[in-house]
């Protein structure tokens, strides 16, 4: 990456958070806790987040417990939250909260998954 990214202003952060359900800004990062149906789903979610983060070359801080995955995103080189963090948060939500659409050939599990 050739140019240094600029951290979001307070106004930009407020606008961005309006578009990210479940995310909040605290301690210099955007944060979200995903609730899962238990340990196996927690591990699957951590792996999915890890895959997306590695593919994006932008890595969150994770906190992992039995039924929860906490995510914190910031761009350390910029000293705050940037467009990269917002984009990655959206992608994490798409992956973590994805369910087969109604009427799809995929029926989906009846197990509690991620919220």
Q: How many Cβ atoms from other residues are within 10 Å of residue 50's Cβ?
A: 13
- φ and ψ at 15, to 5 degrees? -65, -45
Q: Which helix (H) or strand (E) holds 72?
A: strand 68-73
User: Is residue 29 situated within a structural domain?
Assistant: yes
User: Is residue 20 situated within a structural domain?
Assistant: yes
User: Is residue 113 situated within a structural domain?
Assistant: no
User: Is residue 89 situated within a structural domain?
Assistant: yes
pLDDT band for position 4 (cuts 50, 70, 90): confident
User: Is residue 70 situated within a structural domain?
Assistant: yes
What is the rounded average pLDDT of the residues 8-35? 97
Reported as a single tens digit per residue, the pLDDT across 61-70 is 999 999 999 9
What is the rounded average pLDDT of the residues 48-68? 98
The rounded distance, in Å, linking the Cα atoms of 66 and 107 is: 26
What pLDDT does 11 receive?
96
> What domain range is 65 assigned to?
10-97
User: Is residue 111 situated within a structural domain?
Assistant: no
Q: What is the CATH number of the domain that holds 24?
A: 3.30.1360.20
Reported as a single tens digit per residue, the pLDDT across 19-30 is 999 999 999 999
Cross-strand partners of 79: none
- φ and ψ at 5, to 5 degrees? -80, 150
pTM for this structure? 0.92
Q: How many domains does the chain have?
A: 1
What pLDDT does 2 receive?
56
User: Is residue 110 situated within a structural domain?
Assistant: no
- Compute CA 74 distance to the chain's CA centroid, rounded to the nearest angstrom: 11
User: Is residue 64 situated within a structural domain?
Assistant: yes
**DSSP structure class, residue 20:** S
Reported as a single tens digit per residue, the pLDDT across 68-107 is 999 999 999 999 999 999 999 999 999 999 988 888 999 8
């Amino acid at each position: 990456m050739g140019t240094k990214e600029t951290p979001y202003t307070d106004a930009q952060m407020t606008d961005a958070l309006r578009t990210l359900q479940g995310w909040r800004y605290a301690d210099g990062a955007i944060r979200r806790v995903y609730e899962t149906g238990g340990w196996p789903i927690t591990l699957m979610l951590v792996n999915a987040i890890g895959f997306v983060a590695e593919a994006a070359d932008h890595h969150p801080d994770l906190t992992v417990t039995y039924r929860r995955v906490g995510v914190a995103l910031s761009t350390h080189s910029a000293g705050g939250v940037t467009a990269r963090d917002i984009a990655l948060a959206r992608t994490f939500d798409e992956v973590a909260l994805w369910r087969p659409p109604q009427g799809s050939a995929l029926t989906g599990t009846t197990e509690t998954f991620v919220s």
